[in-house]
Structure 1
């Protein structure tokens, strides 16, 4: 029986398309209101019927330009702030958001958020430039059957990951190019305080492997990622075990809930957008019921709107931490560049 992870991989593969929608519906949308261009990261995916619903309801053709991780996305948005490559950006998260706001990437767009969404609003975003769309927790994941076969107890804590017993087993994305990697760095800063550089030096000495993004780490190097990976410990999400259900009532992976950092992804209207009206319509659609209910199975993240139904497997396998690590956004904004510079020095030798 195919696991749900296969469905996830198919969804992610679909993001290689730059335009979603087609045929008569696409032509009528273009005639009615023109295009809305969404720039996003490589993990963005929505079912065709949801995209079609937006086009039918709004009268706009939706064009999707997806590449890189959220960190790469943010860097591109900052570099093109005076000449945006789209109308809306989705995927800037709470670890990178302050950089985008400082650079004036987004215009404000205030509207009545659905119930629950306001709980995820970015502190300090007084202009309402960013609308929360989804959330989840970045957590270390382990391949349970691998550890059983090796007769080795899996790690549980940050400190365990630097233990020689797990040398060469951990893979994670870079904190410079990946929002997932940056979230983990922030989690270690919250855990170890001023001693975080020493922890990272130990982690590197223990053979931790860095990749440019989540896809390379999970799908390429992780032993449960569907490829030929050889590392049974990976940085992923609290929801990931719901996508490795084995068909026997269990999952082949577990999230280590003591290692988690909450991540919220936002959408915003790009300053200087060619189609600001269409951009506003798309941002509001992203917190509507069609998108919110599709998020878990399309992008394996939690919706922000209260009462949105979740897949049955999530109740058992997508367990969220009760006390995730966090760092105040103002502290991130003030120290991010210095932290990343020191992190780069440690990890590149």
Structure 2
């Protein structure tokens, strides 16, 4: 998702439905300075985002210099918490523009009328990440990353055990007690992994999860516990060489010999796309549109891998060397229609909780 994305492997992402306030309050009135002093054009634009949003200071300063706007950032938890807050405050929005609603929550925000129409010119390649169905005219794709099963290649080589390659393999006896996964009710990557299993197994997904648990899969509250504590390649003393992480993770386990010690299983991935949108009823809609345009700029798109550990949606920017070599993206990741997620999320999570708590 430090305050940088969990995929940077520094902080757990949580996908609880609770509405915990971040350190920066989302409330508060508009100052005279922010509203333009004499009630004219606002000089402040407020970006509401998740707690993992981070871009280099020089990019923010350049945006402010180019536009004459002061960019204020207000953190609101992870993608799920952010979406909940935006829905609850839709009649009195706490900012002008939002970033960080992803495809697992987008339909809820769209259905609730959180965002106003704005369709900027997309950079090359970004159209492939547009929100399917309703909402493409209010939400703009900014970045993408896929949640994938990762393995410790070094561990499997030392144990002379062939590593798994698919979701089905994870329930086989050969991999008993080797898999750790963040929970679907408490973690964004955990929810994404659940959706991958639903996409693969359809109505039989619950049986698959029963087999996983019977095979000794371990649940954690969040990604950081799974990757940094239990995973053997997470930098700690873990004892599980299979973990749910990201397609970008192998770029962060590069060894001193020009290789990487982990791999992402590209046939297990669920793609997450993060969007930006102008909030309906924004105090500064013009400034909000400028923020969306800025997030699509070459400068910001090129900064995303090192700043937030996600892939840019623009195919025109060059990836960092380690990313280009080791962070392979799946060609056909699992997908679930956002409308289907919206209609079934609560029921799926209740059933998942029942299975995993037996």
TM-score (norm 2): 0.83
Contact 1:139 1:260 in 2 (8 A): yes
Q: 1:9 Cα shift?
A: 5.5
Q: 1:272 Cα shift?
A: 3.0
SS of aligned partner of 1:92: strand
Tell me the equivalent position of 1:71.
Answer: 80
Map 1:319-334 to 2 at 5 A. Answer: 319-334=328-343
Residues 58-108 of structure 1, C-alpha deviations (whole Å, 9 max, x = no match): 222222233533223223322333333332221111121111111222222
Q: 1:198 Cα shift?
A: 0.5
- Correspondence 1:112 to 2:112: no
Q: 1:168 Cα shift?
A: 3.2
Name which of structure 1's ranges 330-339 and 314-323 shifts more when overlaid on structure 2: 330-339
- Correspondence 1:141 to 2:158: no
SS of aligned partner of 1:134: strand
Distance in 2 between the 1:81 and 1:40 partners? Answer: 15
Contact 1:171 1:234 in 2 (8 A): yes
Residues 32-53 of structure 1, C-alpha deviations (whole Å, 9 max, x = no match): 9533332222332211211222
Q: Give the alignment partner of residue 355 of structure 2, picking from 340, 346, 349.
A: 346
SS of aligned partner of 1:257: coil
Distance in 2 between the 1:118 and 1:299 partners? Answer: 21
Q: 1:304 Cα shift?
A: 1.0
Q: 1:292 Cα shift?
A: 0.4
Residues 105-157 of structure 1, C-alpha deviations (whole Å, 9 max, x = no match): 22221222222222211112356111000112211111222333344332221
Contact 2:10 2:224 in 1 (8 A): no
Higher helix share: 1
Contact 1:143 1:252 in 2 (8 A): yes
Distance in 1 between the 2:84 and 2:225 partners? Answer: 19
Q: Give the alignment partner of residue 199 of structure 1, picking from 199, 205, 208.
A: 208
SS of aligned partner of 1:147: helix
Distance in 2 between the 1:34 and 1:225 partners? Answer: 44
Tell me the equivalent position of 1:45.
Answer: 54
Q: Give the alignment partner of residue 302 of structure 1, picking from 291, 311, 316.
A: 311
Contact 1:72 1:177 in 2 (8 A): no
| Length, aligned pairs only | 334
Distance in 2 between the 1:315 and 1:334 partners? Answer: 37
TM-score (norm 1): 0.85
Aligned pair in 2 of structure 1 residues 208, 42: CA closer, same or farther (>3 Å)? farther
Distance in 2 between the 1:103 and 1:215 partners? Answer: 32
Aligned pair in 2 of structure 1 residues 81, 224: CA closer, same or farther (>3 Å)? farther
Tell me the equivalent position of 1:153.
Answer: 162
Aligned pair in 2 of structure 1 residues 60, 212: CA closer, same or farther (>3 Å)? farther
Distance in 2 between the 1:209 and 1:126 partners? Answer: 36
Aligned pair in 2 of structure 1 residues 347, 60: CA closer, same or farther (>3 Å)? farther
